[in-house]
Amino acid sequence: IGRSNFKPPPQVDSSVVRLVTKNPRPGIKFEEWDAMLRVCFGRKNRTLRAGWLGGRKVLEWVEGCWRGWCALNDIPVDEGEGMDVEQPSGQGKGREVNEDEWDGIMDVDDLGDDNNPNPQEEVDDDNDEELPDLFKQAREASMINGTSGKRKKKGKVFELVREKVRKVLENDTGLADRRARTLDQNDFLRLLLAFNKEGIHFG
């Protein structure tokens, strides 16, 4: 719809969008679907790899989700100082994870438009204005419960969950280098199913 159809005319053109309910409705929980999409679109210019693996807060939240699922299904969680996981760069299995390699590995990402040859620089993962609300709520809850403050050391479970997320994005769905705005509903359904198969349920 052209701007000339309005009085006074706005500075932009407009469009009419028709929303059609998907029928039959996908057999998913809305709360889980909503939580996953909040992460995907939390920083709209980041790839899914950067959005899920580029910051500690997201991975700690996913770790909490996985621990909750394990508790509900009576699955013991093996705590530890560290573990051997397959490296995303293919540098060999069984090599002990160097946390410095992972910490911030996705912070500098091609954040601009797909056609922008000059990506932005690093995104501050501690910037509350850019964090989805669910992480702000989790932080407030931890402050109330007295569990925040000291930076937790990454342990075996954290590394296991990080590897699960990497596997979902790179191996299972192939969506790691895509941006949320370029995906359709079926892509997000595939992503949620892949997370669920790894025992990761959001909410």
Q: Residues 13, 142: contact at Cβ < 8 Å?
A: no
pLDDT in tens, 17-76: 998 888 888 889 999 999 999 999 987 788 999 999 988 889 999 999 999 999 999 988
Question: Tell me: the pLDDT tens digits for 87-116?
Answer: 333 333 333 334 443 344 333 334 444 444
Q: What is the DSSP string of 146-168?
A: T--SSPPPP-HHHHHHHHHHHII
Write down the pTM of the prediction: 0.65
d(CA 107, CA 124): 8
Mean pLDDT of 162-181: 96
